[in-house]
Structure 1
Amino acid sequence: MLSYKEEKMKVYFAFSIRGGSPDEEVIQTVYRLLKDMGHEVTTEFNINWKKRERYMSDEDIYRRDVEALKKSDIVLAEVSKPSLGVGYEISLGEKLGKRVVCLAKEGIHLSAMINGNPNLDLISYKDKNDLTEKLLRFFNKI
């Protein structure tokens, strides 16, 4: 049986959308885990991004995402696929004083701007089960 820490957070979950197709299985795994733990995912609108973003202007997407990031307690970014947008969100989160956690599949050669940044937490994972276990441990200790 999984146990969760009582404190609930607002989580900004960033992942590559236009920079490369996201790993749907990983995205859904993280999203479901966060919801199961009782956290609010402030970027819930991105989970069905294919349907929604085609009806929005770039300016509207920018404003929506920045507002969601400002309201969040923590930024969780899947960085296995390079993405200018995710990099921007990580930087903005850091600038706003948010805790930023990057998730990357083991063996991925990350940018030095991510890998070398002492202000970021980095969680490397083998597969969705390993990622689930590591995220549970992470959220239960913060």
Structure 2
Amino acid sequence: MKIFLSASIRGGRDLLPTYMKMHEFLQNEGHEVLSWHVADPELEKTESVMSEQEIYQRDMDFLRNAKCVIAELSTASTGVGYEICSALQLGLPVLCLYLPDANVSAMILGNDSKLLKCRMHGNFGELEKEITTFLDEMK
């Protein structure tokens, strides 16, 4: 399945190891992660040569080609919020994951769309379980 992985880039890269594990898990399960760059430790170098318009167009193209979105929300990010809203407007199912101490936007947690699922995770095992459940429900 083609999946759009959404996670903080300019908002902070403290959870990069988590994004990398998510990407690896999805690939190992046979999925295509369109937005692989989210888990790229060299991303800042790559995106520094791209214009904002090129980044926007790339990400919107990925969203249009995805079957669902999996977003890690523990680090606040305007871009992640924008991608979630765009995905919902495109009719894509979205799984939002976050750590217990994260300050997640009420605009996401309070949205009762049937396409949106928000789940807390405390470790990578829980994260993996939530992703598996979400993807199984889509089948």
Give me the TM-score of the superposition, normalised by structure 1: 0.88
AA aligned to 1:112 is A
> For residue 23 of structure 2, what is the aligned residue in structure 1?
31
- Residue 119 of structure 2 corresponds to residue 132 of structure 1: no
Give me the TM-score of the superposition, normalised by structure 2: 0.90
Query: Conserved in 1, the CA contact under 8 Å of 2:76 and 2:103?
Result: no
Q: Which runs of 5 or more structure 2 residues have no equivalent in the other structure?
A: none
- SS of residue paired to 1:75: strand
AA aligned to 1:18 is R
Q: Which runs of 5 or more structure 1 residues have no equivalent in the other structure?
A: 1-8
AA aligned to 1:117 is N
Is 71-80 or 13-22 further displaced after alignment? 13-22
> For residue 114 of structure 1, what is the aligned residue in structure 2?
108
> For residue 89 of structure 2, what is the aligned residue in structure 1?
95
> For residue 86 of structure 1, what is the aligned residue in structure 2?
80
- Residue 12 of structure 2 corresponds to residue 16 of structure 1: no
> For residue 119 of structure 2, what is the aligned residue in structure 1?
123
Shift of residue 103 of structure 1? 0.8
Q: Percent same amino acid at aligned positions?
A: 34
Query: Conserved in 2, the CA contact under 8 Å of 1:102 and 1:122?
Result: yes
Shift of residue 134 of structure 1? 2.4
> For residue 51 of structure 2, what is the aligned residue in structure 1?
57
- SS of residue paired to 1:113: helix
